[in-house]
Amino acid sequence: MESKKSSRGRPSETIYGLRAGLAVLARRPDDLQSIAYSREVRRELQELLRFAASRRVPTREATDDELARLAQSSHHEGLCLLTAARRWASPQELADLLLQRRGTAIALDRVRNPYNIGAILRTAAFFGVDAALLGAPAPHPALPPDAVRVAEGGAEGLLLSRTTDLADTLGRLRERGVTVVGTAVADAHDASTHVFARPAVLVVGHEREGMSDRVAAQCDARVTIRGRGAVESLNVAVATGVLVAQLTRT
């Protein structure tokens, strides 16, 4: 869903899902613009509703049909927020953060499915990854609301950056001293034994096609997951979970 304008003319974003909405209260409460919720989840929203009352943020109890209309989805989980559009960090800010923390980031090269994007963000936040970099055609100017919901708060727990030229941005990160590690099926190191340098960006490619040639050319190393069964590959979100666990193990 694209960012839109609120009634006050400010850029805004629709967020739905219980954990995704509560994460906004925890991470960027000043961005809250309005709240709609179902009677069934009111008990779980006491802190959110108290905060809204203290800041005079409009709230209302709504039916499931009303929430589905606001969210444009039946998967609203009883909560739909209108917030100020999230801030996206510049690639420069991303590099600064990684260098300061000797941190880690995930980069998505043409990963389009919002459920996969959301699952990857959730996994990255769970394992303590610092940031995520979305490459074109990343959702612009906002993450798909379904991705935010599936991330279960992970979208608020990461520094988020985006670029229309991922290969160029990765090259600039390398110039700053960030190691870029790509994922591949063949001609790659076994991820279970690979030693990841810090700071590092792990690049995850398109669900079927993998990384583009230009992005692959910017990788200092490539890693793969060695399987032993009859299936040749993993879903991109599942594979990323395995790789992120290796990336952050030390």
Cα–Cα distance measured from residue 34 to residue 39, given in angstroms and rounded to the nearest whole number:
16
Domain range for 16? 4-84
When pLDDT is averaged across residues 17-46 and rounded to a whole number, the result is 97
Could you tell me if 108 and 137 lie in one domain?
yes
Give yes or no for residue 116 having a pLDDT over 60: yes
Cis peptide before 199 (omega within 30 of 0): yes
Give yes or no for residue 225 having a pLDDT over 80: yes
Could you tell me if 99 and 184 lie in one domain?
yes
pLDDT digits (tens, 9 = 90+) for 75-100: 999 999 999 999 999 999 999 999 99
Could you tell me if 63 and 119 lie in one domain?
no
Boundary residue ending a domain (25, 58, 84) = 84
Could you tell me if 221 and 106 lie in one domain?
yes
Would you state the pLDDT for residue 42? Answer: 96
Exposure of 76 in the CB half-sphere (CA atoms within 13 A): 26
Total of domains in the chain: 2
Global confidence as pTM: 0.91
